[in-house]
Chain A
Amino acid sequence: MTSVSYLIRSASLLGQTTADVLIRDGIIAAVGTDLGADVIGDATVIDAAGLIALPGMVDLHTHLREPGREDSETVETGTRAAALGGFTAVHAMANSSPVADTAGVVEQVFSLGRESGWVDVRPVGAVTVGLAGTQLAELGAMADSRARVRVFSDDGICVSDPVMMRRALEYVKAFDGVIAQHAQEPRLTEGAQMNEGIVSADLGLAGWPAVAEESIIARDVLLAQHVGSRLHVCHVSTAGSVEIIRWAKERGISVTAEVTPHHLLLTEELVRSYNPVYKVNPPLRADADVHALRAALADGTIDIVGTDHAPHPSEAKECEWASAAMGMTGLETALSVVQETMIETGLMSWADFARVTSTAPAQIGQLADQGRPLEVGEPANIVLVDAAARWNVDPAAMATKGRNSPFASMELPGKVVATFFHGHPTVLNGALNTPYRAVTAS
């Protein structure tokens, strides 16, 4: 194999120090301000003056829809969107059709990701067979498969049976897995359409009360403590949930938590339009919740940002609110929304950004070669960001098949200029380049 090298010149590493980064054979070969010609060799030079270099983003919460709903998204289109958004790894949620509840399905998704070559695709395994909540899926088989599943979730549906949740938490200890819970008490949310509060009272839409999320999180952190296992809480959306997670962490309970970009920026006031592009589960909440979530992400109570990228065909949103599907796209806007809500507000630095979008999610998902520091010898998963750029969100111009972006027409800061995935530029000059082709199969 011929040596392929890139020299990223004059990038601001994590927005802290300016340096050149030499990439060779998928690895960061050198970092410095005065790399000699002998070191650089015939590397292709990328002028990154004024750009910020970050570790490639890792999404713990992506719906790629394949197999089964290829009209909504495929692994190919979803991972193109991910690369454009600055990601080098995504976790594909299990609610495909068939459900990713067997070794066969997770290996299929894993292979599709390999073939596409835009990012690492790590399948999430279902906790229960068919997401039905009544029988544990073969978690061990999925863990032992080529996909090496470590994150298990019935996302979209809560593992509401406390005994089932307990067993799942206990069982995954055998292979150091983690249960990612979609916290939603089902009886308290029957027919729920939006956050329950002032706006739902006005609009006459059935409420999704905060307590339905908080009561499950409270139960689950206590179960995790009781059985000594790891819990990950998906898409935390309320101020009360933050308080419970903070309490659990103070007690030393092994819990991690996630917030979506849309819950960091948008509030339930948008539902007054009855436009289903704002319909999502958990729902958009109140202003006080948004601010509590931002504070929690900044202080580490919430560990990571997860997109909950949920593409839907247009007919699933071009209808009355109650009939519309829940979910929003997010891969191609995540960086900008987090910059807008966390960095422009002074709540976080770019180094913090790298922690919550790369380092921490890679640790939760146990991805050894993702979320690594920008240092010599590390895998070259790097994203270059023009933080000064501003752009208008146009869903029609996105790589995802989903046009259901709640950020449509908003002006946001920050553009991904380049994404390096195992040393290969999947994105260059803000546009898709070519996919990475793994040299060896795992």
Chain B
Amino acid sequence: MRHLLDTESLSYNNAIQILDTAQEMSAVGEREIKKIPALRGRTVVNLFFEDSTRTRISFEAAAKRLSADVINFSAKGSSVSKGESLKDTAQTLEAMSADAVVIRHWASGAPARLANSGWIDAAVINAGDGTHAHPTQALLDAFTMRAHWAKLSGTASVGADLKGMRVVIAGDVLHSRVARSNVWLLRTLGAHVTLVAPPTLLPIGVEHWPCEISYDLDAALEAGVDAIMMLRVQAERMNASFFPSTREYARRWGFDDARLAKLDALAQKDTIIMHPGPMNRGLEISSAAADSPRSTVLAQVRNGVSVRMAALYLLLSGDMREPATPSNFPPVVAPSVPSVKDFS
């Protein structure tokens, strides 16, 4: 595996390997010196064709903790309108000896194009493409769920999957790369996924996805749920007849205070509430829900750095397991590595 483009093609073994490696990486973030020399001398380019400060700084922190050199390249807007093609931009970065290109793009499939076109040799990591995929987000979500799931069962999370976990993903599935990537990854890891959305915000063809579909958030909650993930509603959807009004949306599909109380009433005390951020408080999620002890929003952000460290490390070190080869991978980071001092 040379690139991380989506989760649909990510094997079980590779997914577990990334999560296990992320587990080790998370220890780095808890040290006083949050840095290991694993990728010293390697160059990681953050190529962002779409604004996303959160994802960019997460990748930047991940690369820097691995001692890689980081170049941030912001090319907001259409590459065509900007006058330079994706091909030329990519080859410019290649000429600067990029080892990995982390790409965020408004066009679905742009990372696949970069990886498969022969334009560049660098490893490509998809940091979100159009409405297609956001694999590192799904991996950090899975990492967060796995930690919760293991804690509940009193077992170690390393090596574990999500077998038996019931996950509800609610909101604008149609336009959500987060939902798509989660559906495939959670399926691979053995979780049971239910998508909840207004029918207008589900893609035609969704019935072929490995998940359940519901239009009724309350029924989905009453059926029992271990993790509920609320998706962001983009402002541009609000006046395009996908739903009558933001208030009606919030009442029917938002995780509001009443539904938070319902979880308590249903005695689902261990259900976590997730959100990929940034949140529209009061629309898809109420402030009480977002700030409740159930919320994993900040843990997700923290885990994002670990997961991205793992992805960068595994792709650049070439240690990624081949698909479907079950083997124990060697420990990635010796915990005692004292790390680099030349970081100012």
Contact = CB atoms under 8 A, between A and B. Distances in A.
A389 to B, nearest CB: 31
Contact of A197 (B130, B177, B204): B204
B117 A203 contact: no
Given A204-B180, A318-B87, A320-B113, 13 more contacts: A196-B204, A201-B206, A203-B109, A204-B130, A204-B131, A204-B133, A204-B177, A205-B132, A209-B204, A319-B80, A319-B85, A322-B108, A323-B107
Given A315-B85, A320-B79, A207 B109 contact: no
Interface string A193-217: 1001111111111110100000000
A201 B209 contact: yes
Residue from A196, A204, A274, A323 whose CB has the most chain B CB atoms within 10 Å: A204
B208 A321 contact: no
A200 B85 contact: no
A200 B109 contact: no
A200 B112 contact: no
A323 B87 contact: no
B105 interface: yes
Given A204-B132, A274-B112, A321 B204 contact: no
Interface in A341-362: none
B86 interface: yes
Contacts of A318: 85, 87, 117
A202 B117 CA distance: 21
Nearest to B208: A198
Residue from A200, A201, A273 whose CB has the most chain B CB atoms within 10 Å: A201
Contact of A323 (B80, B133, B203, B204): B80
B78 interface: yes
Nearest to B80: A323
B45 to A, nearest CB: 17
Contact of B87 (A205, A209, A319): A319
Contacts of A320: 79, 86, 105, 107, 109-110, 113
B238 to A, nearest CB: 17
B116 interface: yes
Nearest to A198: B205
B131 A319 contact: no
A203 B108 contact: yes
Contacts of B105: 320
Contacts of B85: 315, 318-319
Interface in B106-143: 106-110, 112-113, 116-117, 129-133
B187 to A, nearest CB: 13
A240 to B, nearest CB: 14
Interface in B27-77: none
Given A319-B79, A320-B79, A321-B108, A201 B86 contact: no
Contacts of B132: 203-205
Contacts of B108: 193, 203-205, 274, 321-322
A7 to B, nearest CB: 50
B218 interface: no
Nearest to B8: A202
A347 B58 CA distance: 58
Contacts of A275: 113, 116
6 contacts: A198-B205, A200-B203, A203-B132, A204-B132, A207-B203, A273-B116
A274 B87 contact: no
Nearest to B129: A204
A204 to B, nearest CB: 3
Nearest to B110: A320
Contacts of A315: 85
A320 B90 CA distance: 12
Interface string B179-193: 010000000000000
Residue from A196, A315, A322 whose CB has the most chain B CB atoms within 10 Å: A322
Given A322-B130, A323-B80, A205 B109 contact: yes
Contacts of B206: 201
Contacts of B106: 322
B311 to A, nearest CB: 20
Contacts of B86: 319-320, 323
Contacts of B87: 318-319
Contact of A274 (B109, B180, B203, B204): B109
B177 A201 contact: no
A203 B9 CA distance: 12
A322 B131 CA distance: 12
A375 B113 CA distance: 53
B109 A321 contact: yes
A201 B107 contact: no
Q: Which 6 A-B pairs rank lowest in CB-CB distance, beginning with the nearest?
A: A274-B109, A204-B132, A201-B205, A204-B131, A201-B203, A320-B107
B177 A321 contact: no
Residue from A196, A318, A320, A323 whose CB has the most chain B CB atoms within 10 Å: A320
A217 B133 CA distance: 35
Nearest to B175: A204
A274 to B, nearest CB: 3
Nearest to B115: A274
A323 B79 contact: yes
A197 B112 contact: no
